[in-house]
Amino acid sequence: MAGRQMSTTPTSISFVKVNVETTRPTAVILAGGGLRKCVRVRNPFFISIHHAPSIKSEVTASSRSMESRTCFLGEGRCFRRRSQKTAEISYKLRMLPRTDQRIGCQRPRRRAIKSSISVIAFLASRLYTPLESVDRPYILIEGDTIVEVASQSAHPIPRGVETVEFPDAILAPGFVDIHIHGGAGHDVMDADSAGARALERLLVRHGVTSYFPTTVTGPLDQTLSALERLATRIDQAERERTGGMQQAQPLGIHLEGPFLSHLRRGVHPPDNLKRPTLELFDRFWQAARGQIRFLTIAPELEGAMEVIAEGARRGVCVSLGHSDADFNVAQAAVDAGARHATHAFNAMRPLDHREPGIIGEMLTDDRLSADIIADGVHLNPAVVKLFLKAKGSDSAVLITDATSATGMPEGRYRLGSLEVEVKDGRCVSDGRLAGSVLTMDRAVRNVMQFARWDLQQALRLASLNPARVARLTGRGKLEAGGRADVVVLTSRGEVQTTIVRGSVPESAPRS
């Protein structure tokens, strides 16, 4: 394309629009703010902007997939819309200096662009997105963002890129645990920042890169204080850059209790259970500074339907659990806004062939996703298999319900205000099961064993599905624009290493 002389003084553009009609490398000349721009559109999802020589900056862009194929650039944000997609992703837009005084667009060479952030390619034997399988894959990562996922057989690795190879290994999305009470000797309701980091380091050793710390019923003042601490930790973790230290990131709070059934309370202290009210829910919400992302509630309680509706309105995933609800009440709760079920079968009215109750609703309503504790203790393996047949690979989720005893020797530990004893892989308080010592990688392997699922199927229950239930952006799936959270596995589902925010473990083989 012909170019023209331009000023070297940076001039901002308030809004620019690019219509992308092809996935081939394309160049478009735009005008705006008195300054012509050259925008290069590359496959996949890569856009570079030639700007005045003095401009050298990077901006984070977010992308929301809709129906058209239109890209909007402005104020440091980019919304790229692709047909028949609903996932929301984010990626980097690079603002680059021009190399001469004439603005012009030439067909770009593959990855010829330099950046202040290094680009790394992770190589392995196979990759599960988890929806697709890729042989001889590489993941191109810039900073904490995935730039490209491809097969070496189809696309050679860009020149000059640092590579980290994991021979005979499988790359998969980092795991997401939406229900966890603690680990490494620390309970999430009591842990300070050091304790939280110890838990987060334990989690990444088992493939978990994102988690939702989960409360347990306790005295009201203790619960409010715990919510404040957890909100502070979530904000702190968002700002942290660990400098190579691998640790999972808390993304929100799961409020389990006090809106639970006395009859199906499990080990939750009966004296601290509360009737659900909008006023009390808002007190929890304010203490957590809006960080409540999950709410487990028994829908048969007086006032529960109002709280379910309000929670759903605020974007909370309302989950049915610790409940003695009959079928009609459970169905009404879904109509009111509930869309998930907590640790299926456990702390629920048993299934009956004449009154199927909450379990019948959970198994048959496609509007509900549901999670299980697949440790071989909470559920018989045959029930795990039954559950997976009923909910399928789209709606089943794995959780750990792990306590502070996870990763620790047998002994006595804390679960909120309770003392639990761990022996022979069981967490017990007063003779009742009280959480677990399950890790997410073990849960994946158990599904493979109990249900005879292959690794790719089982991985979805620990990555994509919980990410979708939590409505996370850019997590749970390996794709361009996604967060660079990757677990490296053996073919048996054993964790070799975990990559968090694109941070390369020190032990990883570089070249």
- Report CA torsion sign: 243, 246, 251, 255: negative
Rounded Cα–Cα distance for residues 247 and 195 (Å): 12
β-strands 70-74, 16-19: how paired? antiparallel
**How many CA atoms lie less than 13 Å away from 15 in the CB half-sphere?**
1
Does 271 qualify as catalytic in the annotation? no
* Element of type H or E holding 70: strand 70-74
Which of 50, 57, 170, 92 shows the shortest CA–CA distance to 483? Answer: 92
Rounded Cα–Cα distance for residues 484 and 482 (Å): 6
Distance linking the first and last C-alpha atoms of the chain: 38
Of the residues 144, 371, 401, 441, which is catalytic?
401
Under 8 Å between Cβ of 494 and 58: no
Backbone angles phi, psi at 12, to 5 degrees: -85, 150
Q: Hey, which bits of 131-258 come out as E strands?
A: 133-135, 137-142, 145-151, 162-173, 175-180, 182-183, 186-187, 208-213, 249-250, 253-256
75 contact partners, CB below 8 Å, separation of at least 6: 14, 15
Rounded Cα–Cα distance for residues 422 and 437 (Å): 8
State the catalytic residues.
401
